[in-house]
Structure 1
Amino acid sequence: MIQMTGKTIIVSAALLIIVLGGLIYSYQAGYLFPEYLTVFHAGSLSIPLHRLGGEFSKVHPRIHMNFESSGSVDAVRKITDLGRSCDLLFVADWILIPKMMYDQHADWVLIFASNEMVIAYTDKSRYGDEINSTNWYKILSREDVAFGRSDPNCDPCGYRALMVIQLASIYYGDPSINKTLSEHKRTVIRPKSVELLALLESGQIDYAFEYKSVAIQHNLKYVELPDEINLSNWTMRDYYRQAKVTIIKGDRRVLIAGAPILYGVTIPKNARNVDDAMAFIRFMLSEDGRRIIEECGQNAIYPAYTDDPSRVPSELRGYVQRLLGEM
């Protein structure tokens, strides 16, 4: 028979307390039974979402965030065409969710931020000391100037760049602007707009069609465009509809009309961690979450807009308002 002395009992109890304390700490810190949130998102949301994720994880240490960046159209296609699952989908054009995902892959969308289009450039850019909000299209038209835009079939910033060009033709009363800029020989196209940044900063291109928030986040110079062109003004939505771009989705063609830049989020039907996804959205819409969005150059919208409040989960209805006006 093994006899335990008082000293042995004390040591054993101390060891047990240490082990239990370690287990409790590991559980609270997320080392035991971690939960994961998989997030597909637009490239222009990389910085704000990583900041939001960092703050969210401080409050919910057991939740590990997995971010996957791409163009918004490609992010949707990962779900609709490739059958991949994620817990949160963030797109740079909210209309992609109802247009490409209702009702098979998603039921609702929240519109949580806005943005505008600008022409980004650096100190290395040709004619950077000349360009302004009235002559930008003339500068970009020059044969020795190279500029970039993203692929409209992959990224909303790409089809918005084409819309900006179309609207410029209307605004300045010069139909040649559309043809000259959309067919410019030194145009560089990449799958998503943030991939143009390295080319811009290295001097391989002089200018890029970008979101204002991206220019701010990367400390770039930028030309602000008139409201009639920059897709920022909700009251000009009817005017923006004059611009139209057809994108290719698999074997289908989808017509996208010009509209104000509004970011959308949804929880897809194949999400595996709905509860934590809801918690993340609530945090994003909180005062702290909205502050982070604003600091990253986007304009936070609260209450968030939605096309149909009755479709939104009950846990989120207190955070939304109906989107007024047709899109």
Structure 2
Amino acid sequence: MTTGGTPRRRAFLAGVAGGTAGLAGCSGLFGAGSAVSVLAAGSLNDALENGLRERVAQRVTVEAHGSARVARLVAEGQKDPDIVAVADVALFESTLTPPWYAEFATNSVVLAYDGESPGGRRVADAGTDGWWRPLLNDDVSLGRTDPDLDPLGYRTLFALELATDHYDTGTDLRAAIPSPDQLYPETQLVSQFETGAVEAAFTYRSMAVDRGYEFVDLPAAIDLGDPGLAGQYASTSYELPGGTVVSGAPISYAATQRHESPATTTVFDALIGDGYLPEFGFAVPESYPRYTGQLPDGIAN
């Protein structure tokens, strides 16, 4: 079993739950003067607030939600940010269809647990080869995000489906483990974990590393973090509200700049390529940032 350290910064994490609430004033700043507005995946919130801000002189406003919701807010005209950053490039090929975008980081799914709780200890004892057993036996209070709202939610389902085959369980883990009472918004899941409302949670490795969670590192065949296993991941899928079907794929974060200005371009370039993301648990392959589409003048390539 591989774990990601020991729990730390518990008080800090309570603030993440208020990520949307604490940033509520930011949404009203979209389009305001010199501020550059960023609408982003919830899993990027900490990195943008505490990493990106320190690297740019421009005033930056950040609003974070699950990526599927981010995409819908923009597609439906409810939000008009300067920059959009999502946790699944597929959302830029379905719900949103920007003329170009940049992939800038990768991640993987892990099972975080509270080692001080009875359920968390069961997960720890089960380890990499058996983490699913206490979840299947309902011995652990589990938290996960809503697959209709963000990619982490449907990636959790993908991981459970892939685990069924990988471990040859004889039980459909995707059907047997999920239940409605496990669902939390991405920006609130961490507080539920921190306050003890849940004993384990499916989360991104970046979130677990950055926040000092103990976690089980899932095998590459399950964690959606290995580009070489793209074909295997693609055997899974989920239908979003509105009928869009997303298929399993290696996790890749992507961003696009929607409004052009020198300030916005400076912030965008820093967001995708200023070297701060590994500090927050993300992986940045040598080939990134990787661009798709016709880039406007001024975007570094």
Q: TM-score range by the shorter chain?
A: 0.7 to 0.9
Shift of 1:274: 3.5
Q: Contact 2:102–2:272 (CA<8 Å) still a contact in 1?
A: no
- 1:112-153: CA deviation from partner (whole Å, max 9, x where unpaired): 000000001112331144131110111211223210110111
The answer for the alignment partner of 2:211 in structure 1 is 218
Change (3 A) 1:34 1:254: closer
Residue number among 269, 290, 296 corresponding to 1:305 in the alignment: 290
Counterpart check, 1:179 vs 2:211: no
- Give the structure 1 partner of residue 40 of structure 2: 41
- Counting aligned pairs with the same residue, the percent is 25
8 Å Cα contact 2:237-2:248 kept in structure 1: yes
Within a 5 Å distance, the mapping from 1:14-93 to structure 2 comes to 35-57=34-56, 60=57, 63-93=58-88
SS in 1 for 2:89: coil
Contact 1:93 1:261 in 2 (8 A): yes
In 2, Cα distance between equivalents of 1:149 and 1:84: 26
The answer to whether the 8 A contact 1:87-1:274 is kept is: no
Tell me the distance in 1 between the aligned counterparts of 2:52 and 2:272. 13
**Is the 1:79–1:85 Cα contact (8 Å) retained in structure 2?**
yes
Task: Return 5+ residue gaps in structure 2 as ranges.
Answer: 1-31
Equivalent residue letter for 2:201: A
> Could you say which residue in structure 1 is the equivalent of 2:264?
277
Q: Deviations over 1:229-268 (max 9, x none)?
A: 00000010000011111111xxx21111000000000123
Do the aligned residues in 1 keep the contact of 2:34 with 2:59 (CA within 8 Å)?
A: yes
Q: Structure 1's 129 and 55: CA in aligned 2 closer, same or farther, altered over 3 A?
A: closer
The farther-off stretch of 215-224 and 199-208 is: 199-208
Matching of residue 145 in structure 1 with residue 156 in structure 2? no
1:51 CA displacement: 2.7
Matched, 1:263 2:253: yes
Q: Please tell me whether residue 168 in structure 1 is matched to residue 153 in structure 2.
A: no
Residue 298 of structure 2 is aligned to residue 315 of structure 1: yes
Given the alignment, which residue of 270, 276, 279 partners 1:295?
A: 279
TM-score by length of 1: 0.76
In 2, Cα distance between equivalents of 1:255 and 1:274: 34
Output one character per residue of 1:3-35: Cα deviation in whole Å (capped at 9) or x when no partner: xxxxxxxxxxxxxxxxxxxxxxxxxxxxxx961
Q: Do the aligned residues in 2 keep the contact of 1:267 with 1:274 (CA within 8 Å)?
A: no
Question: Is the Cα contact below 8 Å between 1:153 and 1:159 reproduced in 2?
Answer: yes
Equivalent residue number for residue 3 of structure 1 = none
CA-to-aligned-CA distance 1:41-94 (integer Å, 9 cap, x gap): 01100111113332233xx2xx21111011111111111113421001010111
Give the CA RMSD over aligned residues: 1.9
What is the CA–CA distance in structure 1 between the aligned matches of 2:85 and 2:218, rounded to whole Å?
26
Q: For residues 131-178 of structure 1, what are the alpha-carbon distances to aligned partners after superposition, in whole Å with 9 as ceiling and x for unaligned?
A: 311101112112232101101111100000000011011212235122
Distance in 2 separating the partners of 1:113 and 1:257: 19
State the shift of 1:97 in Å. 1.3
Retained in 2: the 8 A contact 1:165–1:182? no
Task: Check whether the contact 1:246–1:255 (CA below 8 A) recurs between aligned residues.
Answer: yes
Which protein, 1 or 2, shows the higher relative CO under an 8 Å CA cutoff with sep ≥ 6? Answer: 2
Residue identity opposite 2:145 in structure 1: S
8 Å CA contact 2:193, 2:199 repeated in 1: yes
> Which has the higher mean CA deviation after the structures are superposed, 133-142 or 197-206?
197-206
Q: Is the 8 A contact 1:133 1:225 kept in 2?
A: yes
1:312 Cα deviation (Å)? Answer: 1.8
TM-score (norm 2): 0.83
Give 1:168's aligned amino acid: A
In 2, the alpha carbon distance for the partners of 1:204 and 1:142 equals 18
For the Cα contact (< 8 Å) 2:39–2:81, is it kept in 1?
yes
CA–CA separation in structure 2 for the residues paired with 1:97 and 1:128: 35
1:111 alignment partner in structure 2: 103
Aligned to 2:185: 191
Task: Give 1 or 2 for the bigger CA radius of gyration.
Answer: 1
**What is residue 7 of structure 1 aligned with on the other side?**
none
Task: Tell me how many residue pairs correspond in the alignment.
Answer: 265
Unaligned 5+ segments in structure 1 are 1-32, 320-327
Change (3 A) 1:199 1:303: closer
